[in-house]
């Protein structure tokens, strides 16, 4: 018989204990299971409660309403196929929902939810084919296969089918459910599917790499809970086959090179971070140092060149991908919520492998900023991208047809307590500061500790020993990088203030002399009940400067206090505008807590100025004002409006509030009925070039070779004689080009008539195109646009004089 022993199981960055077959090796540091960490703070605990009471039931309801559960019933033959959902990875929304609900059951038992999960799992079981295959979009036998799916299993997975992606999320959810309930119903479904993968894939068998990584992480988790070595071997196979030349790969899916030859973060950011996490898992379980070398280099590349101050990754919406080094636009920042979650997984694994607090510094930055911004305070509105600037075009949505970020937040939030502590032998790492009670099982015995703090609003932290074994053990208190004047690891960002404030550490009320090693203060002794450690972290208001190579952030600074990045939002500032605000570098900000604002937040205030344009004059109107900043994660909870993370300290980079014009006061209508797009036509944003994605623009994609229109209805009739258009053209990768032709019409009575042009209609990229015509007295003006035969077209801005 194989040896059976108690092991620590990692999943979603947290750990649980379960009986399983022996695993020979794993991370040298293990997270303390989140079921042993009980939060009672006023920051994270309420947010986790909202996830439990609002987000999980809401996501379940939407899975019912949108047909995601019906997909499984159709695959089981219990419903006619009819209309199906949009994406073949929609199955994973149900898996992630079950995973999140399972985590919540471990923290707060809920018999009704437990029964609901049993019902969902039985539906999933009936949809599984006899050999273990589980993929509803094929099994339901629709009249026509989705275009992303090959007639044969697996064949399109390197592109788009997501068959293996679905399996990965199935495994993560099944392990979570098993460990939460002790029931094997879902785990048996996962084992059956994983056994099929082992049968179909591997040397001499099917040789397809996963198009969207996550199955590697899932297989590692299945290995930990079952002890089946073939699962770990298959995870390694899926990594090693990427870029081996047998199947054409590309940067988008990180398949352009062997994973051990990759040293730069490229391509789709979620896929990438999931892959790097999977590489770390397999490296920990196999001792593969080549993987470690590769992900170390990739991590440094992200830190030095591709990380947003909020912890977000993935700068461009084209491919939801990493951009070039230092290419970090703010308004068009993609910084997908799923990418932030994946980045937490990756950085947590890097810490477990290396024991260096710099990885926790990055993880904390993501948690408090770029990840938390992905969900509203109410728990039922969501961001897909998380921009760092807005003109009001961004708004959290109640749902997305591609709902991956919503279900990902649903599963992630309950796991947050599992990132607070970690252990290695008889050492306890205190990684996050949050009020909690915890029980930690060390080789020398059980330790019970309590942490009291009002972090992130205040920097005072007290760690109290409640129960201690007779032998000594080590407590490793993390000193955050921001408390040592280190904005982030690397040179991408730095604090304007270089002086390092003192950090006071006391043991039982007496100051202690300490050294910091890898970001930790180490205190080793024979602890007894009542012993306490007090740390006072300096909550200074920091001005952050970006590397001079980050062009979008030059002559600007951002605000940070503790782990929180701040932003200006229109709701708090003069004229509901922030893009026109200038605050000198020398300005002194003050902090004050406002309990009634945004569920209670610390706000920052300073004196600044704002500018406005006026009609028929180049002179700006300047106003002095109090400038107010709120935590970035809390923006967009009071409706859409202007927002800015990077504040100009030089007036030349601020955007004065525009003067009202005939166009800006007009009602816009179009053959393109998207209301958000229509707002962009007269918002007076001056594009950098034709493919500028920073602001709102209108396009008719995917229409081609059609006659389209856009119209201004003026506030009152008037005489006009000039029309200027800035065309949107996202060549060579996008679907929009300059139109084939365009013309201006005016409303004469109830008839549309062409204007009498004085010259030619200009048609050029990257600049305004102006046409002058004999003055007409009208109440409405219209552009007619003939789209090119093979492409669509779009408009950034339409100006009328």
24 has a pLDDT exceeding 90 = no
Whether omega before 602 lies within 30 degrees of 0, making that bond cis, reads no
Note the pLDDT of residue 107.
84
11 has a pLDDT exceeding 60 = no
Neighbours of 80 (CB within 10 A): 9
Read off the pLDDT band of 284 (50, 70, 90).
very high
User: pLDDT tens for residues 124-149?
Assistant: 999 999 999 999 999 999 999 999 99
User: How far is it, in rounded angstroms, from Cα 250 to Cα 266?
Assistant: 10
CATH number of the domain bearing residue 467: 2.60.420.10
Beta bridge mates, 5: 20
List CB contacts of 142: < 8 A, sequence separation 6 or more: 81, 84
Task: Identify the CA nearest to 194 among candidates 123, 258, 128.
Answer: 128
Note the pLDDT of residue 336.
98
pLDDT exceeding 70 applies to what percent of the chain? 97
List CB contacts of 732: < 8 A, sequence separation 6 or more: none
- Report the greatest alpha carbon distance in the chain: 95
User: In the numeric block, which tokens belong to residue 118?
Assistant: 């049993």
| Contact indicator for 71, 457 with CB cutoff of 8 Å | no
3-class state of residue 188 by DSSP: helix
3-class state of residue 750 by DSSP: coil
Burial of 183 (0-12, 13-18, 19+ CB in 10 A): middle
Mean pLDDT of 780-790: 97
Does 380 share its domain with 431?
no
Note the pLDDT of residue 427.
98
User: pLDDT tens for residues 250-281?
Assistant: 999 999 999 999 999 999 999 999 999 999 99
Q: Please indicate, yes or no, if residue 327 is contained in any of the structural domains.
A: yes
Answer with the residue of higher pLDDT: 663 or 335: 335
User: How far is it, in rounded angstroms, from Cα 87 to Cα 105?
Assistant: 29
Q: Considering its fold, how many domains does the chain have in total?
A: 4
* End residue of a domain, out of 653, 687, 713: 653
2 has a pLDDT exceeding 60 = no
Does 326 share its domain with 472?
no
616 has a pLDDT exceeding 50 = yes
Packed helices 91-107 and 68-75: angle between N→C axes, nearest 10 degrees: 110
Mean pLDDT of 385-396: 94
Residue with tokens 């062009």: 551
Does 128 share its domain with 205?
yes
Note the pLDDT of residue 615.
80
Does 404 share its domain with 329?
yes
User: How far is it, in rounded angstroms, from Cα 108 to Cα 701?
Assistant: 47
Give the CA-trace dihedral at 543, 545, 546, 552, to 10 degrees: 80
HSE toward the beta carbon, residue 182, CA cutoff 13 A:
0
Note the pLDDT of residue 323.
96
* End residue of a domain, out of 381, 396, 419: 419
Task: Identify the CA nearest to 659 among candidates 627, 619, 612.
Answer: 612
Read off the pLDDT band of 23 (50, 70, 90).
low
Beta bridge mates, 728: 794
Mean pLDDT of 495-502: 91
Neighbours of 428 (CB within 10 A): 23
User: pLDDT tens for residues 700-731?
Assistant: 999 999 999 999 999 999 999 999 999 999 99
Q: Please indicate, yes or no, if residue 491 is contained in any of the structural domains.
A: no
Note the pLDDT of residue 675.
85
Q: Please indicate, yes or no, if residue 492 is contained in any of the structural domains.
A: no
Task: Identify the CA nearest to 257 among candidates 270, 244, 267, 268.
Answer: 244
| Contact indicator for 291, 260 with CB cutoff of 8 Å | yes
User: How far is it, in rounded angstroms, from Cα 793 to Cα 332?
Assistant: 19
Q: Please indicate, yes or no, if residue 529 is contained in any of the structural domains.
A: yes
Task: Identify the CA nearest to 450 among candidates 754, 32, 38, 21.
Answer: 38
DSSP for 134-195, written as a single string = --HHHHT--SS--TT--SSTTTTTTTT--HHHHHHHHHHHHHHHHHHH---HHHHHHHHHHH
Read off the pLDDT band of 318 (50, 70, 90).
confident
- Backbone phi, psi, residue 603, to 5°: -110, 155
Residue with tokens 């939460």: 180
pLDDT exceeding 90 applies to what percent of the chain? 89
CATH number of the domain bearing residue 296: 1.50.10
8 has a pLDDT exceeding 70 = no
Note the pLDDT of residue 320.
94
Task: Identify the CA nearest to 554 among candidates 451, 654, 432.
Answer: 654
Report the alpha-carbon angle 667-570-339, nearest 5: 100
Does 211 share its domain with 286?
yes
Packed helices 185-200 and 229-240: angle between N→C axes, nearest 10 degrees: 50
Element (H, E) at 359: helix 357-365
In terms of DSSP bridges, do strands 564-569 and 642-644 run parallel, antiparallel, or are they unpaired? antiparallel
- Radius of gyration from C-alpha coordinates of the chain: 28
Counted residue by residue, the chain has a size of 801
Give the CA-trace dihedral at 629, 632, 633, 639, to 10 degrees: 70
Burial of 777 (0-12, 13-18, 19+ CB in 10 A): exposed
Mean pLDDT of 751-760: 95
User: How far is it, in rounded angstroms, from Cα 315 to Cα 306?
Assistant: 8
User: How far is it, in rounded angstroms, from Cα 306 to Cα 326?
Assistant: 6
Element (H, E) at 533: strand 532-536
Does 343 share its domain with 456?
no
User: In the numeric block, which tokens belong to residue 363?
Assistant: 């993880």
Does 436 share its domain with 352?
no
Helix segments in 355-503, DSSP class H:
357-365, 404-412
* Full residue range of the structural domain in which residue 747 is found: 667-800
Note the pLDDT of residue 742.
97
- Backbone phi, psi, residue 388, to 5°: -110, 10
Note the pLDDT of residue 22.
53
Does 464 share its domain with 599?
no
| Contact indicator for 630, 565 with CB cutoff of 8 Å | no
Q: Please indicate, yes or no, if residue 483 is contained in any of the structural domains.
A: no
DSSP for 49-94, written as a single string = HHIIIIIHHHHHHHHHHTTHHHHHHHHTTSS---S--S-TTTHHHH
Q: Please indicate, yes or no, if residue 544 is contained in any of the structural domains.
A: no
Q: Please indicate, yes or no, if residue 547 is contained in any of the structural domains.
A: no
7 has a pLDDT exceeding 50 = no
557 has a pLDDT exceeding 90 = yes
User: How far is it, in rounded angstroms, from Cα 319 to Cα 195?
Assistant: 32
User: pLDDT tens for residues 560-597?
Assistant: 999 999 999 999 999 999 999 999 999 999 999 999 99
* End residue of a domain, out of 419, 443, 460: 419
10 has a pLDDT exceeding 60 = no
Mean pLDDT of the chain: 94
CATH number of the domain bearing residue 735: 2.60.120.260
- Backbone phi, psi, residue 534, to 5°: -120, 130
User: pLDDT tens for residues 28-69?
Assistant: 999 999 999 999 999 999 999 999 999 999 999 999 999 999
Neighbours of 99 (CB within 10 A): 30
Helix segments in 534-635, DSSP class H:
none
Element (H, E) at 221: helix 215-226
Task: Identify the CA nearest to 710 among candidates 767, 801, 793, 789.
Answer: 793
Buried b (16+ CB within 10 A) or exposed e, 460-491: ebebbbeebeeeebbbbbbbbbbbbbbbbbbe
Mean pLDDT of 383-398: 95
- Backbone phi, psi, residue 436, to 5°: -165, 165
Does 256 share its domain with 218?
yes
User: pLDDT tens for residues 666-679?
Assistant: 999 999 998 889 98
Residue with tokens 């074994």: 469
Does 306 share its domain with 447?
no
Q: Please indicate, yes or no, if residue 497 is contained in any of the structural domains.
A: no
In terms of DSSP bridges, do strands 4-11 and 445-453 run parallel, antiparallel, or are they unpaired? unpaired
Packed helices 229-240 and 215-226: angle between N→C axes, nearest 10 degrees: 160
Does 591 share its domain with 712?
no
Does 380 share its domain with 362?
yes
338 has a pLDDT exceeding 90 = yes
Note the pLDDT of residue 681.
92
User: pLDDT tens for residues 65-84?
Assistant: 999 999 999 999 999 999 99
Read off the pLDDT band of 4 (50, 70, 90).
very low
User: How far is it, in rounded angstroms, from Cα 102 to Cα 62?
Assistant: 18
């Amino acid at each position: 018989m194989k040896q059976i022993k108690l092991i620590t199981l990692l999943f979603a960055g947290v750990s649980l204990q379960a009986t399983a077959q022996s695993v020979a090796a794993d991370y040298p540091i293990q997270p303390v299971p989140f079921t042993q960490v009980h939060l009672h703070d006023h920051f994270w605990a309420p947010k986790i409660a909202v996830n439990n009471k609002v987000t999980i039931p809401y996501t379940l309801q939407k899975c019912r309403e949108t047909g995601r559960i019906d997909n499984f019933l159709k695959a089981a033959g219990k419903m006619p196929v009819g209309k199906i959902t949009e994406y073949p990875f929609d199955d994973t929304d149900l898996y992630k929902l079950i995973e999140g609900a399972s985590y919540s059951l471990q923290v707060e038992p809920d018999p009704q939810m437990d029964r609901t999960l049993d019902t969902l799992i039985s539906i999933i079981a009936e949809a599984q084919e006899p050999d273990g295959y589980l993929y509803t979009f094929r099994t339901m036998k629709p009249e026509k296969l989705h275009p992303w799916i090959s007639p044969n299993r697996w064949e399109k997975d390197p592109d788009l089918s997501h068959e293996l992606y679905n399996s990965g999320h199935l495994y993560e959810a099944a392990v979570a459910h098993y460990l939460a309930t002790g029931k094997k119903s879902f785990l048996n479904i996962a084992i059956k599917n994983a056994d099929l993968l082992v049968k179909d894939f591997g040397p001499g068998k099917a040789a397809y790499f996963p198009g969207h990584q996550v199955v590697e992480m899932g297989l590692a988790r299945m290995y930990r809970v079952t002890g089946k070595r073939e699962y770990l071997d298959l995870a390694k196979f899926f990594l090693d086959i990427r870029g081996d030349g047998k199947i054409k790969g590309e940067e988008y899916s990180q398949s352009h090179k062997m994973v051990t030859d990759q040293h730069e973060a490229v391509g789709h950011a979620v896929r990438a971070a999931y892959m790097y996490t999977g590489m770390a898992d397999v490296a920990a379980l196999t001792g593969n140092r080549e993987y470690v070398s590769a992900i170390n280099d990739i991590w440094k590349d992200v830190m030095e060149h591709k990380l947003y101050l909020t912890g977000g990754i993935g700068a461009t919406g084209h491919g939801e991908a990493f951009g070039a080094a230092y290419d970090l636009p703010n308004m068009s920042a993609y910084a997908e919520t799923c990418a932030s979650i994946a980045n937490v997984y990756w950085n947590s694994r890097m810490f477990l492998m290396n024991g260096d607090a710099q990885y926790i510094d990055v993880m904390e930055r993501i948690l408090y900023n770029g990840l938390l911004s992905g969900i509203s305070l109410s728990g039922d509105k969501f961001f897909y991208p998380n921009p760092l600037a807005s003109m009001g075009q961004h708004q959290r949505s109640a749902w997305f047809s591609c709902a991956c970020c919503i279900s990902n937040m649903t599963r992630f939030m309950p796991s947050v307590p599992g990132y607070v502590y970690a252990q290695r032998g008889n050492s306890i790492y205190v990684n996050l500061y949050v009020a909690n009670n915890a029980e930690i099982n060390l080789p020398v015995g059980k330790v019970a500790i309590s942490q009291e703090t009002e972090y992130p609003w205040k920097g005072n932290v007290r760690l109290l020993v409640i129960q201690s074994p007779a032998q000594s053990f080590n407590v490793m208190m993390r000193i955050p990088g921001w408390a040592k004047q280190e904005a982030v690891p690397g040179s991408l960002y730095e604090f304007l203030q270089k002086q390092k404030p003192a950090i006071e550490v006391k043991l039982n009320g007496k100051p202690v002399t300490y050294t910091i090693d890898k970001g930790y203060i180490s205190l080793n002794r024979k602890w007894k009940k009542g012993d306490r450690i007090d740390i006072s972290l300096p909550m200074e208001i920091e001005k952050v400067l970006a590397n001079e190579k980050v062009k979008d952030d030059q002559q600007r600074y951002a605000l940070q206090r503790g782990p929180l990045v701040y932003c200006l939002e229109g709701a708090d500032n003069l004229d509901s505008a922030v893009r026109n605000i200038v605050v000198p570098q020398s300005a002194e900000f003050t902090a004050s807590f406002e309990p009634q604002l945004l569920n209670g937040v610390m706000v920052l205030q300073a004196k600044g100025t704002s500018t406005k344009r006026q009609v028929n004059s180049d002179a700006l109107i300047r106003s002095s004002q109090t400038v107010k900043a709120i935590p970035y994660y809390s923006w967009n909870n009071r409706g859409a409006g202007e927002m800015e993370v990077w504040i100009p300290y030089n007036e030349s980079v601020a955007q004065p509030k525009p003067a009202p014009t005939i166009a800006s006061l007009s009602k816009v209508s179009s053959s393109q009925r998207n209301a958000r797009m229509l707002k962009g036509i007269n918002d007076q944003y001056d594009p950098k070039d034709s493919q500028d994605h920073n602001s709102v623009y209108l396009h008719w994609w995917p229409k081609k070779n059609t006659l389209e229109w856009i119209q201004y209805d003026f506030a009152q009739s008037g005489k006009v004689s000039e029309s200027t258009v800035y065309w949107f053209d996202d060549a060579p990768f996008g679907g929009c080009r300059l139109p084939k032709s365009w013309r201006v019409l005016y409303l004469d009575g109830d008839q549309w008539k062409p204007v009498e042009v004085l010259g030619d209609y200009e048609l050029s990229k990257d600049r305004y195109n102006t046409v002058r015509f004999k003055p007409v007295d009208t109440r409405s003006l219209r552009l007619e646009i003939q789209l090119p035969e093979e492409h669509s077209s779009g408009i950034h801005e339409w100006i009328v004089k």
